[in-house]
Amino acid sequence: MFVSASLLTLALLVKAQETRALPDSSQVTTPLPTREGQGGGSLHSTLFGYGRVRQLDTYLSPLNYKGGQIEFLHETLRPARNRHLSIQTLWQMNLSKASNEAGKTNLMGGDISFDAGLHYNWHLKSLPGLRLMAGGLAGVNLGFLYHTRNGNNPAQALASLRLSASLAAVYDFRLGKRMLSARWQADLPLMGVMFSPQYGQSYYEIFSLGHYDHNIVFTYPGNAPSMRHQVSLDFPVGRVTLRAAYLCDMRQSSVNNIRHHSYTHAFMFGWAVRLIRK
């Protein structure tokens, strides 16, 4: 995960050599056109964090596991050709280690997700500085869980595709001589597909013997109610814009007689860079 984060950071630094930053870092970091159609550019943010996770996967164990999770999140926001639309991409990665209540067994996990989509933006004349956003995201998720004590079925693969509704609110405000930007965003998966073995079905049966048994499952809020919330604050420090954020990632499913959930609460910290092409 840290190798991927380093590569993303290096790419941003290289790209920054080909762009020019805003003349005043205390300006708002919003990448979208203003109400008058001025401004623009793209906003790139990179966050690292740590939080607590609670996990259950009845394919591996009927017990709940609690532990710590390392989070990485990279986001890009840029305006589309239509001045009311913005394009968002999100890379999210995590590594976790959780234990049962007795502390005798561990559940190790890793996950990488990518989402991309569009938002329509409204600027409210009655509340200057407030922007509302609504749209959708398409995403893919790959990951794994590994149980340190299981013999026959020690691991579970996580793979899914999803279409999500996305809502956000951004508020730019002044604190003294500094401009700050607060944002809230919630993403709700509406439909998709996921891979899942049947309860008690081994991966050897699926991939070596070819015993397919409804292992690709259609998902919707009825069998996979999930949601991701994020609250963040951008604030300038010298010529750098820093970002502090809280992430609440709730993933769950109940398919093929297997119950799965992963509830994460993490605090994250990083930086945001607004780039404008020459």
pLDDT tens-digit map of 139-149: 999 999 999 98
Cα 131–chain centre separation: 21
For residue 41, what pLDDT is reported? 82
pLDDT tens-digit map of 71-126: 999 999 999 988 899 999 999 999 999 999 988 899 999 999 999 999 999 998 88
Cα–Cα distance for residue pair 110/53, rounded to 1 Å: 12
Amino acid 220 reads Y
Which pLDDT band holds residue 278 (cuts at 50, 70, 90)? Answer: low
pLDDT tens-digit map of 167-182: 999 999 999 889 999 9
The whole-model pTM stands at: 0.83
What is the residue-averaged pLDDT of the chain? 87
Closest C-alpha to 134, from 167, 90, 171, 183: 167
| Of the listed ranges 37-46, 175-184, 204-213, 235-244, the one predicted with least confidence | 37-46
Domains and CATH numbers, the chain: 2-277 (2.40.128.100)
For residue 40, what pLDDT is reported? 60
What percent of the chain is modeled with pLDDT above 70?
A: 85
Contacts of 94 (CB under 8 A, 6+ apart): 1, 69, 70, 71, 72, 109, 110, 111, 264
- HSE-CB for 173 with a 13 A CA cutoff: 8
For residue 151, what pLDDT is reported? 77
